[in-house]
Amino acid sequence: MMKKLFVFCVVFLSIGFADKGSCSCQSHKSPFVQVAKKATPGVVFIKIELDPQATGQYQDPFELFNEDFFKRFFGPDNNFQERPKAPQIARGTGFLVSKDGYVLTNNHVVQEAYKISVILNDGKEYDAELVGADLHTDLAVLKIDTTNAPYLNLGDSDALEVGEWVVAIGNPFELTASVTQGIVSAKGRQNLNISRLENFIQTDAAINPGNSGGPLLNLNGDVIGVNTAIVTRSGGYMGIGFAIPSNMAKNIMESLIENGTVARGFLGITPQDLTPDLREGFGLDEDTDGVIITQVEKGSPAEKADLKPGDLITQIDGKDVKTAAQLRNDIALMKPSQRVTLTVIRNKRTQHIRVILGAFKDTQTASLPALKKIGIDKVEELSQEAREQYGYVGKGVVVKSILPGSIAYKSNLRPGSIILAANNQKVKTPEELNEIVEKSLKDKKLLLLVRQGNVIKFINIKL
DSSP characters for 382-399? --HHHHHHHT--S--EEE
Listed residue (270, 252, 209) closest to 102, CA to CA? 252
DSSP characters for 185-240? EEEEE--SSS-SS--EEEE-S---TT-TT-EEE-TTS-EEEEEEEEE-SSSS--S-
Of 108, 246, 367, 377, the active-site residue reads 108
Of 212, 411, 417, 440, the active-site residue reads 212
Cα–Cα distance measured from residue 76 to residue 57, given in angstroms and rounded to the nearest whole number: 19
Listed residue (110, 105, 94) closest to 61, CA to CA? 110
Cβ neighbours of residue 124 under 8 Å, at least 6 residues apart?
Answer: none
Contact 256, 166 (CB under 8 A): no
Reduce the DSSP state of residue 243 to 3 states and report it: strand
Cα–Cα distance measured from residue 156 to residue 164, given in angstroms and rounded to the nearest whole number: 13
Of 51, 117, 134, 138, the active-site residue reads 138
Contact 433, 423 (CB under 8 A): no
Cα–Cα distance measured from residue 94 to residue 43, given in angstroms and rounded to the nearest whole number: 6
Distances (CA, A) of 272 to 195, 278, 279, 286, 376: 19, 10, 12, 17, 38
Cα–Cα distance measured from residue 442 to residue 257, given in angstroms and rounded to the nearest whole number: 28
Residue 219 region by backbone torsions, left for phi larger than 0, else alpha for psi between -120 and 50, else beta: alpha
Buried-state track 271-292, b at ≥16 Cβ within 10 A, e below 16: bbbbeeeebeebebeeeebbbb
Distances (CA, A) of 252 to 132, 139, 140, 245, 333: 10, 8, 9, 11, 8
Is residue 108 part of the annotated active site? The answer reads yes
Is residue 320 part of the annotated active site? The answer reads no
Q: Which amino acid is at 280?
A: E
Cα–Cα distance measured from residue 208 to residue 159, given in angstroms and rounded to the nearest whole number: 26
Listed residue (132, 64, 66) closest to 102, CA to CA? 132
Which residues have a catalytic role annotated?
A: 108, 138, 212
